[in-house]
Amino acid sequence: MAIDTQVSTNPTTVDPASRAREIRRRLPGQARRQRLDTARLEYGPLYTLAEIQQRVAQTLRQKVGFIRRAVFEPIESYQGYIPDEALLKYDAASRSTLFASFAVVTPTYFSQKQVDPWIVAQVDGADLYAVIAQWDDTEEPTR
């Protein structure tokens, strides 16, 4: 029985595009850029924290003497009702591995929570957020 002791110096022939993707995945900066591009493609524009706060607060009409704000709460501790459609969107986003954390953002007047929460997700490795879902919580089903 003969054993081949020669080492092959020729790498297996691989498509250059797939090889570049593999290299890109190992480089943190390139992987971050790819996550940002994919998140923009799948979830639309990405926003800074301040932009999310402003967009959520602007869903409330202005009232004299009231300050419009947005309250962030980790989705894991949110106790309000989340509709099935929003939960399915959250699940798909969490399985994508694009995002580091998720929050439910509720518009408020000073400290009084109002309706229409949003689920937002922070892109992993970036200070940018995607809007995953929005809903009107006045339509909460009776239990």
The beta-strand segments (E) located in 9-111 are 68-74, 99-109
**66 pLDDT more than 80:** no
- Tell me the pLDDT tens digit for each residue of 6-29: 655 555 567 898 898 888 878 888
CA 58 to CA 73: how far, in whole Å? 18
pLDDT score recorded for residue 141: 60
Residue 123 · residue 39 · CB < 8 Å = yes
pLDDT score recorded for residue 105: 93
First to last CA, the chain: 75
Write down the pTM of the prediction: 0.76
35-39, 41-45, 59-63, 96-100: segment of lowest average pLDDT: 59-63
**51 pLDDT more than 70:** yes
Rg of the chain over Cα atoms, rounded to whole angstroms, equals: 22
